[in-house]
């Protein structure tokens, strides 16, 4: 692999390969863009099949974080870190060694909890570095607020598509009943939506079926359901050439990162099928917004009010895509670039 070619292709500034012999830590920290400020991005622990796969994931996710921050009007850059390990290989020593690498970056990268890390794990990292957000002691885990953002995004999509942002009676299929998916289901239940749920973990499916009267669906059946909204809240790349032809939902609105396997091709396939796709890094930015507020002095009311901007941003994007013929994903990238340049200009004026 030609490393500089790979990392500069998507505009990355810096990629760090972190290795600690004693604990066995192998991690990659990708800083995509720090034009607006320190790079923010949570840390994911995953048993990648290869180092190249881990690098690809870190590069894709960190670029998404730049766009996510910009679309959410957050003056921060985009970054992401991945630890290459199986969940059972996690030790306090490994997490603390990772924390020391972050501390040495001196605030250039700020992180938090992503897949396979628990609040306790983040506490271990936090023992070695101050550059951690979203702990229980600070603003709490990001998932409940991410779910609020997804709910607001669904409402914006319903408003655009059906003329009303009420979700009452709408059929919503939720894929993945983890931290975000479970909170989202609770909100959907409270909003009188008709729920369909699937997860590879049957205990979670049974729990949600019992709690909210949701219809349980096998994982492979979720794509072809005759529903109004499909909410991917599990893993990435699930919108691809195999799944898109099956999808009957008119709206895709979920929390998963990197939902489009190929941003251009699959974005266009969705547009051709007249499926309204809520760009992932816009609709799932609630958690980022919430932890950003820690850095400026946490006030829950202000943070949630900021999360409500997801609704307006999505409506702006849907209209922009409609008038220009772009996909909603392309429209969101353009909006992010515009907001980065505008914020940079404003920052330059202040410092002049």
Catalytic positions, please?
80
Binding residue for ligand NAD (CB under 6 A) from 18, 209, 216, 235?
A: 235
Binding residue for ligand NAD (CB under 6 A) from 69, 76, 133, 143?
A: 143
What is the per-residue DSSP string for 142-189?
SHHHHHHHHHHHHHHHHHHHHS----TT-EEEEE--SHHHHHHHHHHH
> Helix, strand, coil proportions of the chain in percent (round to 5)?
50, 15, 35
Report the distance separating Cα 107 and Cα 129, nearest Å.
9
Which residue, 47 or 219, is less far from ligand NAD as judged by CB?
219
Give residue for tokens 């760009």. Answer: 279
Which residue, 203 or 349, is less far from ligand NAD as judged by CB?
203
Looking only at residues 240 through 299 of this chain, which bind ligand NAD when binding is defined by CB under 6 A?
Answer: 255-257, 284, 287
Looking only at residues 76 through 115 of this chain, which bind ligand NAD when binding is defined by CB under 6 A?
Answer: 114-115
Binding residue for ligand NAD (CB under 6 A) from 58, 95, 234, 269?
A: 234
Binding residue for ligand NAD (CB under 6 A) from 52, 200, 341, 346?
A: 200
Looking only at residues 206 through 225 of this chain, which bind ligand NAD when binding is defined by CB under 6 A?
Answer: 219
Binding residue for ligand NAD (CB under 6 A) from 37, 41, 99, 142?
A: 142
* Residues 345/339, Cβ–Cβ less than 8 Å: no
* Residues 65/281, Cβ–Cβ less than 8 Å: yes
Q: Which residues pair with 185 in a beta bridge?
A: none
153 binds ligand NAD (CB under 6 A): no
Using the rule CB under 6 A, give the single segment among 69-77, 192-200, 329-337, 339-347 that binds ligand NAD.
Answer: 192-200
How far from chain centre, in Å, is Cα 34?
Answer: 19
Residues in Cβ contact with 75 at an 8 Å cutoff, skipping those fewer than 6 apart = 36, 37, 69, 343, 347
Binding residue for ligand NAD (CB under 6 A) from 78, 181, 267, 279?
A: 181
3 binds ligand NAD (CB under 6 A): no
Pairing of strands 171-175, 109-110: unpaired
Residue 61 C-beta: closest distance to ligand NAD, Å: 8
Biggest CA-to-CA distance, the chain: 60
Which residue, 7 or 284, is less far from ligand NAD as judged by CB?
284
Looking only at residues 112 through 141 of this chain, which bind ligand NAD when binding is defined by CB under 6 A?
Answer: 114-115
Report the distance separating Cα 257 and Cα 264, nearest Å.
16
Which helix H or strand E contains 276, and what residues bound it? Answer: strand 276-277
Among 184, 208, 321, 315, CA closest to 256: 184
201 binds ligand NAD (CB under 6 A): yes
178 binds ligand NAD (CB under 6 A): yes
Using the rule CB under 6 A, give the single segment among 33-41, 96-104, 169-177, 267-275 that binds ligand NAD.
Answer: 169-177
Among 219, 218, 196, CA closest to 208: 196
Report the distance separating Cα 236 and Cα 280, nearest Å.
10
Give residue for tokens 């949600």. Answer: 208
Residue 237 C-beta: closest distance to ligand NAD, Å: 10
Q: Which residues pair with 239 in a beta bridge?
A: 260
Using the rule CB under 6 A, give the single segment among 5-13, 156-164, 176-184, 208-216 that binds ligand NAD.
Answer: 176-184
Chain positions contacting ligand NAD, by CB under 6 A: 114-115, 142-143, 146, 175-181, 198-201, 204, 219, 233-235, 255-257, 284, 287
């Amino acid at each position: 692999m030609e490393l500089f070619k790979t990392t500069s292709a998507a505009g990355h500034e810096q990629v760090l390969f972190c290795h600690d012999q004693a604990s066995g830590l192998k991690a990659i920290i990708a800083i995509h863009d720090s034009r607006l400020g320190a790079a923010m991005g949570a840390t994911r622990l995953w048993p990648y099949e290869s180092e190249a796969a881990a690098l690809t994931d870190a590069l894709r996710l960190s670029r998404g974080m730049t766009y996510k921050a910009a679309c959410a009007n957050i003056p921060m850059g985009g970054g992401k870190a991945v630890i290459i390990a199986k969940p059972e290989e996690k030790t306090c020593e490994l997490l603390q060694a990772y924390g020391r690498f972050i501390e040495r970056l001196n605030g250039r990268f700020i992180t938090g909890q992503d897949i396979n890390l628990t609040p306790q794990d983040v506490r271990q990292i936090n023992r070695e570095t101050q550059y951690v957000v979203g702990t229980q002691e600070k603003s709490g885990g990001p998932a409940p607020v991410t779910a609020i953002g997804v709910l607001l995004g669904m409402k914006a999509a319903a408003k655009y598509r059906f003329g009303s942002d009420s979700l009452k009676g709408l059929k919503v299929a939720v894929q993945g009943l983890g931290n975000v998916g479970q909170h989202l289901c609770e909100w959907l239940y409270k909003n009188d939506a008709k729920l369909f749920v699937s997860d590879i973990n049957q205990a979670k499916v049974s729990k949600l079926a019992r709690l909210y009267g949701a219809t349980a669906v096998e994982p492979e059946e979720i794509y072809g359901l005759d529903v109004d909204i499909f909410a991917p809240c599990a893993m990435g790349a699930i919108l691809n050439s195999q799944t898109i032809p099956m999808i009957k939902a008119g709206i895709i609105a979920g929390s998963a990162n990197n939902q489009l396997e190929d941003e251009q091709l699959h974005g266009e396939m969705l547009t051709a099928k007249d499926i309204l796709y809520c760009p992932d890094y816009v609709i799932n930015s609630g958690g980022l917004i919430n932890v950003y507020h820690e850095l400026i002095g946490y006030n829950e009311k202000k943070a949630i009010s900021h999360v409500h901007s997801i609704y307006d941003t999505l409506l702006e994007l849907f209209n922009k895509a409609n008038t220009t013929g772009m996909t909603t994903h392309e429209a969101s990238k353009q909006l992010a670039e515009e907001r980065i340049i505008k914020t940079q200009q404003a920052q330059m004026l202040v410092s002049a």
